[in-house]
A and B are shown apart, each in its own frame.
Chain A
Amino acid sequence: MTDKMKIIEVKQSVFADNDADAEKLRQQLKGEKTFLLNLMSAPGSGKTSVLVQTIDRLKDDIKIGVMEADLDSDVDARTIAERTGVKTIQLHTGGMCHLDADMTRQGVKELETGELDLAVLENVGNLVCPAEFDTGASMNVCILSVPEGHDKPLKYPLMFTVCDAMIINKIDVLDYFDFDLDKVREYAYKRNPDIKIFPVSAKNGEGMDEWCKWLKEQVCKWNS
C-alpha cells in the first residue's frame, strides 16, 4: 500500500477550521444583534455565582440567556434558571474539556438567541483548553478567585492573553490569603496590556456594579 502513497503538503493550523467556524458564528450573531459572552475560569472560582449576580443586575434592561457547558450534570443550569428566571440550556461536552465553535453554534441554535441581547456561555471550568478554542464569542472574560493565587496569569498565559476582561472574585476573603492585587494586575497587564480588571465579591456584591456597567456598555456597542 505504501508505494502508492504520495505526500500531500497540508501546512494548516489544527485550529484553522475552528477559527473559521467561530468567525462565521460571530458574524451571524452580530447580524442578529446578540452579544455572546464566553465566560471562563478554573473550577470553583465562582462563575455561576458571578453570573447570577450579573443577571440580577442587568435582566430588567437587557434580554439574557445562558448556556451552561459541563462534562456532565445540569447542576449549574438549574441553579441559574431557578435563581434568575432567564432561559438556560445545558450543553454536555461528552467528556471534552472545552467547547469549540461548532458546539457553541448548536447551543446558540437551541437557546434561540435571535431574541436575546446577551447570551452567556459558561465554559467548562478549566484555565488551559478553553483558551485554545475560539467559540465565536463577541468577548472573552475570565474569572480568577482570590484563593487561587495571584500568580495565575503567569502560569496560564494564554487564558489571560485571549480575554478582554478579568474578574477577580471573592475579594471579601482577601484578608485570609496572601493574594496581592497589585501583583495580579502587573502579571495580567504583562500578558495583555488591554485587559480590563474588575475586583468583585459575588457574595457581598462589592464591585459588581462596575463590572455590570462595563458589560452593558459592551453589549450596547455590539448591538448598535
Chain B
Amino acid sequence: MHELGIIVHVAKTLKNVAQQNNVSKIGSVTLEIGEVSGVVESYLTDCWQYYRKKDSLIENSELKIEKLEAVTFCDDCEELYPTVRYGRQCPYCGGYNTWLAVGSECNIKEIEAC
C-alpha cells in the first residue's frame, strides 16, 4: 500500500515532466530503487498496472526498475562495505560511526516519451 502512494507521486511528477518537455505519451519509466528503501518491487509493479489505467499519459507505459545495491560508509576507517550483509557495524574496524551512502533511493531516473 506504501507502494501505491509512491506510484501516485511518480504519476504526479511525470505530469510536470511531460508538460515541461512537451510530450503527451510516456512509453516507459525507469525507477532507481535502493536495496534498503523498503520498497517491494513486485508490489510496485502491481500498483503501476492498476494506477496507469487512470491516466492517459502513462496508460501504455512500462515500468522498469533498476536496483541499487546498498553501501555503507564508515567515518572511522573510511571504508565502504555492503549494508545488507553487515548492517550498521563496520566489518573493518567494528565501529558504529557509519552512514548509508547508497541504498535508500527511490528516484525517477528517466522516461521514454513522445
Contacts and interface: CB of A to CB of B under 8 A. Distances in A.
Interface of A: 1-2, 4-18, 95-98, 100, 128-129, 132-133, 158, 190
Contacts of A96: 1, 4-5
Contacts of A15: 9, 106
B111 A14 contact: no
Contacts of A18: 9
A106 to B, nearest CB: 15
A115 B14 CA distance: 37
A38 to B, nearest CB: 16
Contact of B107 (A6, A12, A98, A158): A12
A13 B25 CA distance: 21
B104 to A, nearest CB: 8
Contact of A13 (B5, B23, B105): B105
Q: Is the interface of B mostly helix, strand, loop or mixed?
A: mixed
Interface in B59-99: 88, 96
Contact of A8 (B1, B6, B9, B110): B110
Nearest to B18: A8
Nearest to B113: A8
B109 interface: yes
Contact of A10 (B2, B96, B109): B109
A66 B23 CA distance: 43
Q: How large is the interface on B (under 10, 10 to 19, 20 to 34, 35 or more residues)?
A: 20 to 34
Contacts of B105: 13
Contact of A190 (B4, B21, B96, B106): B96
A134 B105 CA distance: 16
B17 A100 contact: no
B56 interface: no
B23 A132 contact: no
Contact of B21 (A4, A8, A133): A8
Contacts of B31: 14
B42 interface: no
Contacts of B88: 190
A10 B27 contact: no
A18 B38 CA distance: 18
B111 to A, nearest CB: 5
B12 interface: yes
B1 A10 contact: no
A139 B23 CA distance: 39
A13 B106 contact: yes
A98 B114 contact: no
B108 A17 contact: no
A14 B110 contact: no
Interface in B1-59: 1-2, 4-6, 9-10, 12-14, 16-17, 21, 23, 25, 27-28, 31, 38
A14 B114 contact: no
Given A10-B13, A190-B96, 15 more contacts: A1-B25, A6-B113, A8-B21, A8-B110, A8-B111, A8-B112, A10-B110, A12-B108, A13-B105, A14-B9, A14-B13, A14-B106, A18-B9, A95-B1, A96-B5
